[in-house]
Structure 1
Amino acid sequence: EKLFYILLYCKCYPTFDLLSVLFNFDRSCAHDWVHRLLSVLETTLGEKQVLPARKLRSMEEFTKRFPDVKEVIVDGTERPVQRPQNRERQKEYYSGKKKRHTCKQITVSTREKRVIIRTKTRAGKVHDKRLLHESEIVQYIPDEVAIEGDLGFHGLEKEFVNVHLPHKKPKGKELTQQQKEENRELSRQRVVCEHAHSGIKRYNCVHSVYRNRVTDFDDQLMLVSAGLWNFYLDAA
């Protein structure tokens, strides 16, 4: 029953008022049980080795944790949040890309749609490339592992030899036919990352507008949802 309770919360993201009605206890108990059981679920998924890494400390760590990975895709994903009351926080969380207030993470996925690394959740205003740099992920991925990304990481290919990005259209000029073909091929390869994000967002707790107030709870929800998605892939 406890497993059903926390999986229901992750999948449907009901309010604590609704949970209290469905399970016949007080609203405060509904709140306490969600936070208690989510930590238990996170620990269990960690024991199953399906949680994505939060941070890398060396290339040796990457090789040890992911010995069979030869190619990865990096991309950002955002989720909407309630509009902050504070004006400064409104600016901090406003995403020019989504035209609304969001929070975001960068994920690193494999060809098998498995999310192996994810950054800490940040405000939507932070640019993808800046967030990736601050998270210190790319520098700990070995050179023999190819890294694919989109133009949101433009310039990264000049810093790391294993980064492959689409060709950017020159100002006032057009891409050659070969460059267009290469961009299309890269897009076909990168689409698995979007499939991984879609898999994670099967869980409404990371898809719907975030409404909780507990510090870093959104980060924990994303971590657990990614772990559940990886667990599903392993079981499928």
Structure 2
Amino acid sequence: MLNIEGALKQDRLLRALTGLNRKAFDALLPSFSSIYFETQQTKPRQRALGGGRKARLLTTQDKLFFILFYFKCYPTFDVAGLLFDMHRSQAHEWMHRLQPLLEAVLGHYMALPERHLESIEAFLSRFPGVQRVMIDGTERPIARPEDPEQQKQNYSGKKKRHTRKHLAAVDETKRILILSKAREGKLHDKRFHDEDDIAGSIPDEIPIEVDSGFQGIQKRCF
């Protein structure tokens, strides 16, 4: 299993695995833990002590690391299961359980915090050292929805499978600055951006790089 405690002690490695340094990870953890425990329901125990599968993600710290790692590296569930010493079905289950919790926390901390940080000073205070921002869409595969309309909305012609999509703004080190909420895989990057306006959260003085999928916002992006 991945040595989570070891990764947390090395900022460079932690950023490579989760997109966050230790300070940002520790700042996110209390809110993530609070939301996680709020979603838990007390149920009568169905098994005797010691029964069932052995837990691998024992703490909320482990759970936060797992879901951040998943979205940073996008491993297959077979690979995630191998790295975290669990069956692929458990990796799939944990991803779907933890994703909405992470999105809820990022909604407070990272996902479009203000429509526009009015000054370059305010932006650099929030995101120190950033000189250039790159905006792009990223998709993650999901199980084929049972509902026909959901199948249609979440089918990505680009990936040739059913997906959910995020838009992310990252700096030169691939640190995630802004992360949108998940949307249907069919949604085009440009339309997604028009509705969320990630570029509008970045001061005009900061150069923004986009690919051809964002044609139309190049007036202020390079």
TM-score range, shorter chain: 0.5 to 0.7
- RMSD in angstroms over aligned alpha carbons? 3.4
| Counterpart contact for 2:153–2:184, Cα < 8 Å | yes
Matches within 5 A, 1:10-25: 10=67, 12=80, 14=86
Match of 2:115 among 57, 77, 81: 57
Match of 2:127 among 66, 70, 90: 66
Which residue does 1:121 correspond to in 2?
Answer: 182
- Cα separation, 2, equivalents of 1:140 and 1:4: 30
Matches within 5 A, 1:183-194: none
Q: CA deviation at 1:156?
A: 1.2
Which residue does 1:2 correspond to in 2?
Answer: 59
- Cα separation, 2, equivalents of 1:16 and 1:99: 22
Runs of 4+ in structure 1 displaced over 4 angstroms? 13-19
Using a 3 Å threshold, how does the CA distance of structure 1 residues 16 and 9 change in structure 2: closer, same or farther?
farther
Using a 3 Å threshold, how does the CA distance of structure 1 residues 17 and 82 change in structure 2: closer, same or farther?
closer
| Counterpart contact for 1:69–1:110, Cα < 8 Å | yes
- Cα separation, 2, equivalents of 1:131 and 1:80: 18
| Counterpart contact for 2:167–2:193, Cα < 8 Å | yes
Per the alignment, in what secondary structure is the counterpart of residue 78 of structure 1?
A: strand
- TM-score, normalising length: structure 2: 0.53
Q: CA deviation at 1:136?
A: 2.0
| Residues paired across the two proteins, number | 140
Q: Which runs of 5+ in 1 are unaligned?
A: 20-29, 165-236
| Counterpart contact for 2:136–2:169, Cα < 8 Å | yes
| Counterpart contact for 1:54–1:119, Cα < 8 Å | yes
Using a 3 Å threshold, how does the CA distance of structure 1 residues 7 and 118 change in structure 2: closer, same or farther?
closer
Percent of counterpart pairs with the same letter? 39
Q: Which runs of 5+ in 2 are unaligned?
A: 1-57, 70-79
Using a 3 Å threshold, how does the CA distance of structure 1 residues 68 and 18 change in structure 2: closer, same or farther?
closer
- TM-score, normalising length: structure 1: 0.50
| Counterpart contact for 2:134–2:210, Cα < 8 Å | yes
Q: CA deviation at 1:67?
A: 4.5
| Counterpart contact for 1:70–1:145, Cα < 8 Å | yes
